[in-house]
Amino acid sequence: MERVNGMRTKTRATVNEVMSHPVISASPDETIHEVLKKMEEKDVNGMPVVGGNGRLEGMVVKADIYRFMIDPGHMEVCPVSWVMSKEVVTAGLNEDILDAAIRLRERNIVAMPVIDGDEVAGVITLEDIVDFLIETEN
């Protein structure tokens, strides 16, 4: 973060510099249980759902899964496509992280896929942005 006369100015980092990668994604056919287990193993709170053609089909976060878990027995057999968000908010590789952070807060979401052309290049989270800001201030 740059400072002018002791005041902070707009961050000049891009999403590409801050995002989590390589991409940890789910398939629409994986069960909710499998996806939650993968999230726990990889220590992530959300992941893009990518079809066999490599195309982004949705986004799933733990909160989506936890809301679904109210009905017992579904987690082991239902596909993640049942709980994923299908209208996905995304970020671009060269987008300023401040713009990405604003969109995350405005949409009340914690993570969004980062798109490079038609491919998912990574995921940017509020946690990634906060970690970056802490690192640049120290």
Taking residues 101-108, report their average pLDDT.
Answer: 95
Max Cα-Cα span within the chain: 59
> What is the tens place of the pLDDT at every residue in 15-74?
999 999 899 999 999 999 999 999 999 999 999 999 988 899 999 999 888 877 776 777
How confident is residue 1, by pLDDT bands cut at 50, 70 and 90? very low
Q: How far apart are CA 49 and CA 4, in angstroms?
A: 42
pTM comes to: 0.80
> Are 60 and 84 within 8 A, CB to CB?
yes
- The residue with greater pLDDT, 115 or 135, is 115
Q: What is the pLDDT of residue 77?
A: 80
Q: What is the pLDDT of residue 12?
A: 73
Task: Decide: residue 108, CB within 10 A, 0-12 exposed, 13-18 middle, 19+ buried.
Answer: exposed
From residue 114, how far is each of 7, 46, 60, 68, 78 by CA, in Å? 30, 13, 14, 26, 27
- Does the domain made of 3-137 have the CATH classification 3.10.580.10? yes
Spans of all domains in the chain: 3-137
